[in-house]
């Protein structure tokens, strides 16, 4: 180590100018990285050095840096969001690595989510799925009484667990089929478990699954990599619930 407690790292980062050009892995050497810095702060440090040299900085997505927004989506040494369970990239700290380590950093890989530049991918596909049915369309009027619509504790907790999905697409990146079923099932479940979602539940699941298929996402084959890589621990039981909802809605429709 050059300084006590600081790390020297070898980075292999995917660089791609735009959606139409061919990308490649580029090697970088980064010295003096604090183990207390976050993974994104480490990339910030690299970018400061690149800008000082007059080189193009590495483009990557980020926003809140608090593990809430899901923008910090990176494949790190082949793992979505890195090696720490239920942790987003922005909440991953460099103390997970050792001096002299080689770290491979890539963008998500899925046909419906093309690389825009370097580590930035186009996740408009998730927005399209949400537009297809990921909402409740009701006239809410004035605020209802807190106990006016009793909801069982079990369903309330399951709905909240599903609603914790931040739409980062780690499930898609980790799945060998680039399936979006964990994401879609979480968004279906958060409403299917509540009385507020009853009115539109059939059309919701039909529309969202249809849109998912139209966009080119793959099918679920129970690899369970989606659950393992999800930074919010979304359970694959939601996929089973979505399949039941979809089957029931399809029977009713025909």
Residues 45-57, mean pLDDT to the nearest whole number:
98
What is the per-residue pLDDT across 19-33, written as a single tens digit (0 to 9) for each? 999 999 999 999 999
Q: Are residues 140 and 238 in the same domain?
A: yes
Instruction: Report the domain count for the chain.
Output: 2
| pLDDT at position 151 | 87
- Domain coverage including residue 14: 7-106
172, 217 Cβ separation under 8 angstroms: yes
Residues 80-105, mean pLDDT to the nearest whole number:
97
Q: Are residues 54 and 94 in the same domain?
A: yes
Q: Are residues 91 and 139 in the same domain?
A: no
Residues 223-235, mean pLDDT to the nearest whole number:
97
136 part of a folded domain: yes
117 part of a folded domain: no
Q: Are residues 98 and 149 in the same domain?
A: no
Pick the last residue of a domain from 42, 71, 106: 106
Confidence tier at 139 by pLDDT (50, 70, 90): confident
Q: Are residues 249 and 173 in the same domain?
A: yes
Q: Are residues 206 and 129 in the same domain?
A: yes
Q: CA–CA separation, 204 vs 210, rounded Å? A: 10
116 part of a folded domain: no
What is the per-residue pLDDT across 171-200, written as a single tens digit (0 to 9) for each? 999 999 999 999 999 999 999 999 989 999
CATH number for the domain that contains residue 72 = 3.10.20.30
Mean pLDDT of the chain: 95
Q: Are residues 64 and 180 in the same domain?
A: no
Q: What percent of the chain has pLDDT over 70?
A: 97
CATH number for the domain that contains residue 174 = 1.10.1060.10
Q: Are residues 86 and 148 in the same domain?
A: no
Buried/exposed 34-63: b ≥16 CB within 10 Å, e otherwise: beebbbbbbbebbbeeeeeeeeeebbbbbe
Whether 90 shows a pLDDT value over 80: the answer reads: yes
| pLDDT at position 143 | 72
């Amino acid at each position: 180590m050059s300084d006590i407690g600081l790390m020297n790292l070898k980075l292999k980062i995917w660089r791609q100018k735009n959606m139409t050009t061919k990308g490649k892995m580029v090697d970088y050497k980064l010295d003096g990285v604090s183990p207390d810095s976050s993974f994104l702060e480490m990339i910030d440090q690299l970018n400061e050095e690149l800008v000082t040299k007059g080189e193009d900085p590495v483009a990557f997505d980020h926003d809140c840096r608090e593990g809430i927004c899901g923008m910090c989506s990176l494949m790190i040494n082949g793992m979505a969001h890195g090696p720490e369970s239920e942790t987003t990239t922005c909440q991953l700290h460099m103390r997970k690595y050792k001096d002299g380590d080689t770290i491979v950093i890539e963008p998500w890989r899925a046909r419906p989510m093309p690389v825009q530049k370097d580590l930035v991918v186009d996740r408009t596909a998730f927005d399209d799925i949400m537009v297809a049915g990921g909402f409740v369309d009701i006239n809410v009027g004035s605020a209802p009484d807190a106990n006016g619509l009793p909801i069982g504790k079990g369903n309330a907790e399951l709905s909240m667990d599903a609603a914790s999905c931040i739409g980062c697409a780690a499930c898609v990146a980790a799945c060998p089929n680039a399936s979006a079923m964990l994401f879609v099932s979480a968004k279906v479940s958060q409403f299917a478990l509540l009385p507020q979602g009853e009115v539109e539940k059939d059309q919701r699941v039909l529309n969202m699954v249809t849109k998912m298929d139209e966009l080119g996402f793959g099918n679920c084959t129970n690899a369970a990599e989606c659950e393992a890589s999800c930074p919010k621990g979304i359970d694959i039981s939601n996929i089973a619930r979505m399949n039941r909802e979809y089957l029931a809605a399809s029977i009713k429709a025909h």
